[in-house]
Homo-oligomer: A and B are copies of this chain.
Amino acid sequence: MPDHPSATPELSTIEFWFDLSSNYSYLSVMRIEAAAAAHGKRVIWRPFLLGPVFKALGWADAPFILQKEKGEYVWHDMVRLCRKYGLPWVKPSSFPRRALLPTRVALIGCDREWGPAFCKQIMQLNFAEDRDVDSVDVVEDVLNELGLPALDLIGAAESHQNKLLLRERTELARRKAIFGAPTFFVGSEMFWGNDRLDDALTFTPA
């Protein structure tokens, strides 16, 4: 398991923590591969659930959901950023949309080669097609389209062992002092937010 979370990533890799319900994670999921390749960095994908992290920090929800004025701005910001990056955008009719099943599947996929393609498709459905990505049917369709054994993988995703792995991932996020998504690590340096991706990719120790 070369990408085990406890391994210290080298400076030639970027560790990418994201939540499939997070709109700013959507931007980074869609653009990180090209951006990292342009800087000769390998991406280590780390899907996780931000909700339990917020709860552990004593926040009832995402800061910009709790703060209405900031929330209004965020949706306008997303329109502009998607235009800037050339990404499609439809404001989800439900936000934050539950994405537990796809996150459990992504946990498996990101230890294999199909994780990024799966995550991109889930993000596309959530933030460009306003689909309920926590539905078994939707996840099954995505896996089938990728030519994968959908029912086997959904079974493995829902296994006790995999559920435990996701809880451990949340605990690791806490130990790494993550408080939002997306979050990037280059070595031990933490960068928070899609708008820090380029800083993370060009980071060199002082």
Binding site for B on A (CB under 8 A): 57, 59, 63, 67, 69-70, 72-73, 76-77, 80, 83-84, 177, 179-180, 189-190, 192-193, 195-196, 199, 203, 206
Contact call A67/B73, Cβ cutoff below 8 A: no
Q: Please, could you name 13 A-B residue pairs with CB atoms under 8 Å apart, sorted by A? A: A57-B67, A63-B63, A67-B179, A69-B179, A70-B179, A70-B180, A73-B179, A77-B196, A80-B189, A80-B199, A83-B206, A195-B195, A195-B196
Contact call B69/A57, Cβ cutoff below 8 A: yes
Residues in B neighbouring A57, C-beta threshold 8 A: 67, 69
Q: How many copies does the complex hold?
A: 2
Residues in B neighbouring A199, C-beta threshold 8 A: 80, 84
Specify which of B63, B69, B180, B193 is in contact with A177 (CB 8 Å cutoff): B69
Please judge, given known A-B contacts A177-B72, A177-B73, whether A63 and B67 are in contact too, CB under 8 Å: yes
Least Cβ distance of A37 to chain B in Å? 22
Residues in B neighbouring A177, C-beta threshold 8 A: 69, 72-73
When chains A and B are docked, how far (Å) is the Cα of A83 from the Cα of B189?
Answer: 15
Least Cβ distance of A18 to chain B in Å? 17
Least Cβ distance of A52 to chain B in Å? 14
Least Cβ distance of A175 to chain B in Å? 12
Least Cβ distance of A172 to chain B in Å? 15
